Every structure is written in structure tokens, then in C-alpha cells.
Amino acid sequence: MSPELSQKLAAAVDGMPAFPKSVQNILELTRDVNCAPKDLVQVIDKDPVVTVKILKVVNSAYYSLPKQITSINHAVVYLGFNTIKNLALSIAAIGMLPKDNAAGFDAQQYLLHSLATAVIAKQLALRVDDADPMDCFIAGLLHDFGKVVFAQFMPKEFRLALETSQSDGSSLHLALRKVIGVDHAVVGAMLVEKWRFAPSLIETIQHQYGPDLKDTDMIACVFAANQISKKMAFGFGGNPCVEEFPATIVRRLGGTLDEVIVSLGDLTPLFEEAKIFSKI
């Protein structure tokens, strides 16, 4: 990567908004193994916007809890510490999506694709030993966030890469490498590093494609979920190209792309969950 491109990417990442203070505090807290649920509740309670949105999701038909949940404390009791932590992080990430951009990139379709990838990755994590379902959810949600950086700060180049990918059916990350010199995985990893996410999440976002694809359970879940949500056409992240699973992923997930789709059964409930999240 040339020093000039390096500088341009660093400036773009710096131009992205920081996570809200409450969400940064949640990240800090959850890195501490001694963190108790009540500590999380106190942090969320201080942010009325995040509180209202979490309660809206928790009370949605998707979770069909036996009664109305009226406090974050109850939400943690019913749904668990990890689910609430990841809901808060998801809400923050979704809140940062720009309403429009000069690249003509459809943020709503992008969001649906990212959420579908997140819920499928969470499901796939249950099949492998070393992947935490909720970490896979966040990695799935953020796997394409580098595209948002490009749409905001390099719209002309991003539009050209999108058009190239659409016209010849090639993979968007290859078109980006050609047009910009680097793909969204690199800039996405820089962004989540700035946001101080865990190293495993940074690694998953950075090494999710082609020759850079690393052989870990978390990357297998996110790569597979990404291909499945593209093949099922749930939302659209700008990349029409569906890739078959490499041998390492077939081994970790116990099947090819089509076999894993069949084994997941009816994906409608997962897509319903993604839709609920997309409206928060």
C-alpha cells in the first residue's frame, strides 16, 4: 500500500464518528472478566436513547417474552448479559449509518445484508467449538462496514467499483482492489480497531477474503453467513458474487454452501429477526 493511500485511508477512518460514550463504556466493561450484569445495566441506564431502542427490540414479537419488559435490568435477566451487550453495540453501529451518500450505495439494503449475515453467523457458531455466537453476530454485522467508509469518503471510486462488479459479476472486493488499491476488509479492520473492538473481531474483518482468508472458526462462520445471505438475496451489500466454501470452511462447518443452507432449514425466522433489528 502506498504511503499516499495509507494516509487517505487513515483520514477516512478518522472522519467516521466515534461510538457513543455509553457504548465505549460497554466495550470497556465487557473486556473485564469480573464485570457483573449490574455494571452493564448502570451504563446502559445512563443512555436513554440506547435504553429505549433495546427495550423496543426486546419487546418485539421476535423474542415473544411472557410479559412486557420495562427495564434494562429485566432485559438482562430474560435475555442474558451477552445478548444485551451485543444489542447495544448493534444499535450504536446501525446509528452510524449515513442516510445518504454520493456513491449511490443503498444503506438500507446494506443493513439488511449485514444483519442477515449477523444472525446466520450466530446460528453457525453453535456448530463449531471455538466461536462465540454473539461475537460472530457482531463480526457478521460489521463485516462490511469498510464499504460505509468508502461510500462516505471515496464516493467516486466506490461507485466505479460497484458498477464494475455489477457489470461483470465479479467480486466487489477484487473491483475495489483494482480501483482503490485496497478492499473494504482492510479499511473495516482499521475502523473496528479505532472503535477498540476485540483483536479476534479485527482479525475476522481483515482476513475474510481470498488468499487472506484465515482458518479460524469465527472467520468460517462469518464467511459462510455472508455467502448464504448473498445467495438467499436477503438485502444487498453491493457484491453480486457468491463464493463456494473453500476446503477449510467445508471442514469446519461440515458441508458445502448448498449443504449448509439445507441443514439450516427454514431461514425465514432468522430474516425476521434481521428485519426487526433493521428498524431500530
- The mean pLDDT value for 51-78 works out to 86
- State residue 188's pLDDT score: 94
The lowest-confidence range among 23-27, 107-111, 151-155, 182-186 is: 23-27
The lowest-confidence range among 80-89, 119-128, 158-167, 231-240 is: 80-89
> Does pLDDT of 69 surpass 80?
yes
Under the banding of pLDDT at 50, 70 and 90, the label for residue 82 is confident
- State residue 243's pLDDT score: 92
- State residue 63's pLDDT score: 75
Cα separations (Å) of 44 from 25, 63, 182, 233?
Answer: 9, 20, 37, 34
SS (H, E, C) the chain: CCHHHHHHHHHHHHHCCCCCHHHHHHHHHHCCCCCCHHHHHHHHHCCHHHHHHHHHHHCCCCCCCCCCCCCHHHHHHHHCHHHHHHHHHHHHHHHCCCCCCCCCCCHHHHHHHHHHHHHHHHHHHHHCCCCCHHHHHHHHHHCCHHHHHHHHHCHHHHHHHHHHHHHHCCCHHHHHHHHCCCCHHHHHHHHHHHCCCCHHHHHHHHCCCHHHCCCCHHHHHHHHHHHHHHHCCCCCCCCCCCCCCCHHHHHHHCCCHHHHHHHHCCCHHHHHHHHHHHCC
- State residue 179's pLDDT score: 93
> Does pLDDT of 62 surpass 80?
no
Under the banding of pLDDT at 50, 70 and 90, the label for residue 117 is very high
- State residue 260's pLDDT score: 97
Distance CA 271, CA 136 (A): 16
The chain-wide mean pLDDT, for the chain, equals: 89
- The mean pLDDT value for 75-102 works out to 83
Closest CA to 219 of 235, 232, 206, 231: 206
- State residue 67's pLDDT score: 87
Under the banding of pLDDT at 50, 70 and 90, the label for residue 262 is very high
Name, of 92-101, 165-174, 247-256, 263-272, the range with top average pLDDT: 247-256
- State residue 187's pLDDT score: 94
pTM recorded for the entire structure? 0.88
Grid coordinates of 249: 470452511
Of all residues in the chain, the percent with pLDDT exceeding 90 is: 49
Q: Where are the domains of the chain?
A: 3-16+99-278, 18-95
- The mean pLDDT value for 97-116 works out to 89
- For residue 258, the tally of other CB atoms under 10 A from its CB is 12
Cα separations (Å) of 157 from 4, 26, 35, 83, 239?
Answer: 15, 35, 44, 37, 15
- The mean pLDDT value for 247-275 works out to 92
> Does pLDDT of 168 surpass 90?
no
Distance CA 190, CA 7 (A): 12
Grid coordinates of 152: 462516505
Distance CA 170, CA 191 (A): 25
More confident residue, 123 or 90: 123
> Does pLDDT of 270 surpass 80?
yes
> Does pLDDT of 61 surpass 80?
no
> Does pLDDT of 205 surpass 90?
yes
Q: Architecture of 3-16+99-278 per CATH?
A: Orthogonal Bundle (1.10)
